[in-house]
Amino acid sequence: NAGVTQTPKFRILKIGQSMTLQCTQDMNHNYMYWYRQDPGMGLKLIYYSVGAGITDKGEVPNGYNVSRSTTEDFPLRLELAAPSQTSVYFCASSPRDRYTDTQYFGPGTRLTVL
Amino acid sequence: AQSVSQHNHHVILSEAASLELGCNYSYGGTVNLFWYVQYPGQHLQLLLKYFSGDPLVKGIKGFEAEFIKSKFSFNLRKPSVQWSDTAEYFCASPPRVGGGSNYKLTFGKGTLLTVNP
């Protein structure tokens, strides 16, 4: 099992550009999540999905969009990149119980917006 | 609102020293808590988790944590640290049962542990 994979690992964007961060899991997990990690701030939830075709906003959704057309894939779209979106982005997945299941994290994408 | 706090931002130890990292939670009722670790350049991985039962939880790599309800705490401990334990440690709380459509893990801000050889 590869677990949760993310691409790219690093990316530099100019202000106003757009990009898609890819996330794929091969564990047949129902739930998937996108977090951003900023120094000294822990992780903040951007969007999550409880299954194919179902997504919802987390704590910090502004400037992002997601889709979930398959169980495996959960891409995160940045429209009109801003310097405030400079961060490390982690995708995660978990089986089905949000109260007790471990979330499995991908290796992260380090994004810089200049 | 559900919250988790870690008061130690950076801890520096020498090898073989004992470790205790603090984590406090702010809510009552059913309490579930996790400790995650992030080694330099790597993704977060689970160290251990508590749901109910024995308040002393053992995890990977010799770590353990004790849930103390009266103190609202879930501190992480290791009797003797190694250089390879250098990492950032996060306490986290999953959604509360009956908390509606809340799906997020609530993370503390993390504690950076540096172990000097």
pLDDT band at B62 (very low <50, low <70, confident <90, very high): very high
* Token digits of residue A52: 């194919």
| Residue B94 in contact with partner chain A when CB distance is under 8 A | yes
Q: Are A59 and A44 in contact (CB under 8 A)?
A: yes
Judged by average pLDDT, the poorest of A14-18, A37-41, A95-99, B12-16 is: A95-99
Q: Are B13 and B117 in contact (CB under 8 A)?
A: no
Chain A residues lying within 8 Å of B42, measured CB to CB = 107
CA distances from A4 to A7, A12, A108, B25, B37 (A): 10, 22, 10, 29, 16
Chain A residues lying within 8 Å of B101, measured CB to CB = 56
Cβ–Cβ gap B9/A43 under 8 Å? no
> Is B34's pLDDT higher than 80?
yes
* Token digits of residue A82: 């801003």
* Token digits of residue A45: 């939830």
Chain A with chain B: Cβ pairs closer than 8 A: 57
Residue A66 CA to residue A49 CA, distance in Å, equals: 9
> Is B98's pLDDT higher than 90?
no
Q: Are B76 and B20 in contact (CB under 8 A)?
A: yes
Residue B89 CA to residue B108 CA, distance in Å, equals: 9
Report chain A residues touching chain B, CB-CB < 8 A. Answer: 4, 31, 33, 40-43, 45, 48, 50, 56, 58-59, 90, 92, 98-103, 105-108
Neighbour-count burial of A61, counting CB atoms closer than 10 A to its CB (0-12 exposed, 13-18 middle, 19+ buried): middle
Which of A5, A35, A48, A99 is the mutation pick for testing B, counting most B CBs within 10 A? A99
DSSP assignment letter at A28: -
Handedness of CA B7, A107, A1, A51 (dihedral sign): positive
- B39-58: average pLDDT: 90
β B111-116/B10-14 pair status: parallel
Judged by average pLDDT, the poorest of A27-36, A54-63, A101-110, B92-101 is: B92-101
Q: In the prediction, which pLDDT does B43 show?
A: 87
DSSP assignment letter at A27: S
Nearest to A107 among B43, B103, B108 (CB): B43
> Is B99's pLDDT higher than 70?
no
For the stretch A43-66, pLDDT in tens is 899 999 999 999 999 989 999 999
Chain mean pLDDT for chain B: 90
